[in-house]
Chain A
Amino acid sequence: MLIRLQLVGTGVGNDPFRVDLPTFSHVVTNETTGRAFADVPDVDVPDGVAAFVRANPVADLASPLPNGFPPSLARQWAEHLARRYDLGEARWKPVVA
Chain B
Amino acid sequence: MRVGSFAVARPAYYDRIPTAANPAYYGQAVPHAQTTRWTVTNTAAQKMYVDAASITIIRATVPTTSGLYYAAIFGPTGQPLLMVHQSVATVGNPQNISSGGSILVLQSQSITGVTYDDSTGGVVTYGVFAHGIQFDA
Asked if A27 is at the interface of the complex by the 8 Å CB criterion, the answer is: yes
Cβ-defined partner of B34 (8 Å) among A17, A19, A23, A25: A17
Asked if A84 is at the interface of the complex by the 8 Å CB criterion, the answer is: yes
Asked if residues A17 and B25 are in contact (CB atoms below 8 Å), the reply is no
User: Given the complex, which residues of A lie within 8 Å of B25, measured CB to CB?
Assistant: 25-27
Asked if residues A16 and B41 are in contact (CB atoms below 8 Å), the reply is no
Asked if B27 is at the interface of the complex by the 8 Å CB criterion, the answer is: yes
Inter-chain CB contacts under 8 Å: number: 67
Chain A contributes a number of interface residues (CB within 8 A of B) equal to 23
Asked if B32 is at the interface of the complex by the 8 Å CB criterion, the answer is: yes
Asked if residues A25 and B27 are in contact (CB atoms below 8 Å), the reply is no
Asked if B38 is at the interface of the complex by the 8 Å CB criterion, the answer is: yes
User: Given the complex, which residues of B lie within 8 Å of A25, measured CB to CB?
Assistant: 22-25, 37-39
Asked if B93 is at the interface of the complex by the 8 Å CB criterion, the answer is: no
How distant is B130 from chain A, measured CB to nearest CB, in Å?
10
Mark each residue of chain A from 11 to 36: 1 if its CB lies under 8 Å from any CB of chain B, else 0.
11010111101111111110100000
Query: How many angstroms between the C-alpha atoms of A26 and B78 in the bound complex?
Result: 20
Asked if A86 is at the interface of the complex by the 8 Å CB criterion, the answer is: yes
Contacting A at CB under 8 A, from B1-48, are 21-27, 32-41, 43-45
Q: A16-B33, A85-B44 are in contact. Are A21 and B27 (CB under 8 A)?
A: no
By beta carbon, the residue of chain A nearest B24 is A25
Asked if residues A17 and B44 are in contact (CB atoms below 8 Å), the reply is no
Which residues of chain B have a CB within 8 Å of any CB of chain A? 21-27, 32-41, 43-45, 78, 108, 110, 112, 114
- Residue contacts A-B, CB under 8 angstroms, 8 given: A10-B33, A17-B35, A18-B39, A22-B39, A22-B41, A26-B26, A29-B35, A86-B43
